[in-house]
């Protein structure tokens, strides 16, 4: 079965940290760029970050640059997002998605909820 | 406010056709591919159209995409109640080196 499975979400106070994981199975992973996309409650999709297939090129939205770090372990078919210095406005469902080649996302995970609140 | 502009909502009757627009600029839609996504309530987005007008396997030909200059359009014919969802366009922005999503359009099938 084709699957991207996110984990690691949870409740954290402002200024805290989390590490999200996205495990791929049933699909090719190591030869594709991967992205994180988030969706705040009741809001639209917001692109967060991308990582090249080899892991040597990273991209971030202005809202998370300097606080979030994207990485991958191709030997374990897993994508990560390290979230530091979290803010209330980072509260969202975080999705991982595979980039089929042209910044179009053909596979998505089910999402993991991050809640930042005091 | 999103860089890619979509109408907040559209509506049409079952069996009719609807179009959803997505307006950008030369740094994104004008020089990069556009993709479209359907998001049903409580679910992850689903790819409907990639590379401006290509449908992934399993997407019915009721869904179509087109692009002209700095704008793109998603068309849906033979509307069904099951098409009620939020629809998003997306494109890469070469100037900013980021991916962009439109603000989303809520489709209501009356």
B46: which chain A residues are within 8 Å (Cβ-Cβ)? 108
Question: pLDDT, tens digit, for every residue of B57-82?
Answer: 999 999 999 999 999 999 999 999 99
User: pLDDT, tens digit, for every residue of B19-58?
Assistant: 999 999 999 999 999 999 999 999 999 999 999 999 999 9
How big is chain A, counted in residues? 118
Question: Could you tell me which residues of chain B have a Cβ less than 8 Å from any Cβ in chain A?
Answer: 2, 32-33, 35, 37, 39, 44-47, 50-51, 56, 86, 88, 90-92, 97-104
At CB < 8 A and 24+ separation, what contacts does A49-54 make?
A49/A81, A50/A99, A50/A103, A50/B99, A51/A79
Q: Provide, rounded to the nearest whole percent, the portion of chain A with pLDDT above 70.
A: 100
Q: How far apart are CA A27 and CA A77, in angstroms?
A: 9
């Amino acid at each position: 079965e084709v699957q991207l499975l996110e984990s690691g979400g949870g409740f954290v106070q402002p200024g805290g940290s989390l590490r999200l994981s996205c495990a791929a199975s049933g699909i090719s992973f190591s030869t594709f760029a991967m992205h994180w996309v988030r969706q705040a409650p009741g809001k639209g999709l917001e692109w967060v970050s991308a990582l090249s297939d080899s892991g040597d090129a990273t991209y971030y939205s202005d809202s998370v640059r300097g606080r979030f770090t994207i990485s991958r372990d191709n030997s374990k078919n897993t994508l990560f997002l390290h979230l530091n210095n979290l803010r209330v406005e980072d509260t969202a469902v975080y999705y991982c998605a595979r980039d089929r080649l042209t910044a179009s996302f053909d596979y998505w995970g089910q999402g993991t909820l991050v809640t930042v609140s005091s | 406010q999103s860089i890619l502009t979509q109408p907040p909502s559209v509506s049409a009757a079952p069996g009719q056709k609807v179009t959803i627009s997505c307006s950008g600029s030369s740094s994104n839609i004008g020089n990069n591919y556009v993709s479209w996504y359907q998001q049903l309530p409580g679910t992850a987005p689903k790819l409907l159209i990639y590379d401006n007008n290509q449908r992934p396997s399993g997407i019915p030909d009721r869904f179509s995409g087109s692009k002209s200059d700095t704008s793109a359009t998603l068309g849906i014919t033979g509307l069904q109640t099951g098409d009620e969802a939020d629809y998003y366009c997306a494109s890469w922005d070469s100037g900013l080196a980021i991916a962009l999503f439109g603000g989303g359009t809520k489709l209501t099938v009356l």
